[in-house]
Structure 1
Amino acid sequence: MSPKRVSPEDTKSQPAPAPAPAPQAPQPTSLRAETTKGQFAGGLSAQGRAHLTCKGKPVPWQDIEWYAGKRGELLGTSQTDARGIAEMEGGSISGIFTALQGEIGGYSVKYLGNDEYLPSEAHGHIVPLFDIGS
């Protein structure tokens, strides 16, 4: 038994192979920083909160960088949760320059992006929290 031969006309009727899917471009993100209350006596102490979304949907498990003022000193990094929310406890920032950056300029958050999502930035304000009982 010999192998089946295919004529050139038969190959023309064969469907063309499906093209490989084109790589998807990174999607735009939106980062929003909430206004928070902070204490400035003896160094800055505040807690920041940011929301990372893509087309209105939360973007979970992404690293967010936190800065004093508008892109001043890096305070740290935290990760978004399943709801796209990241929080950062400022603790007591005793460095006078960093504390002043936060007092005057609030705080900034930055998402660096990756292959799936584009980067984004936001700025949050810190309003003084006054202790009336002191």
Structure 2
Amino acid sequence: MNAERLTKIEQELSKLRKSAKRWRVASCALLVGAGLLAADVVGPTVIDHLVVNRIDVLGDAGTPVVSISQTTAGGRIDLYNQSGTNLLRVSSTPNGGDVAIWDDEGTNVAGLWSAENGGTF
């Protein structure tokens, strides 16, 4: 009689362990799903104010294709092609602004800048 009772208790204990494991897995899945849903509802993080000295956007070759930086006179934006040649620069100067354009080989083809006595093209 004792052996039968022990066997029955062991079977019931085994069933309870399986049931507890199923509930644990279901609870974890529910929590993960709720977390993912909550993250999706919130959306991407929006930063109101970002302070950096320089920002580089890298192209396929791993070199900058856009660079935003600071100079002693103010700010500067450079655009590059995929091979790293600077094609356009918009920059602050002590007298105002500067725009420079280069071709794919790095030869300056156009420029517009301010000077003490006016502007130059």
* TM bucket normalised to smaller: under 0.3
Q: TM-score, normalised by structure 2?
A: 0.26
Greater helix share, structure number: 2
Q: Between Structure 1 and Structure 2, whose CA radius of gyration is higher?
A: 2
Query: Greater relative contact order: 1 or 2 (C-alpha under 8 angstroms, separation 6 or more)?
Result: 1
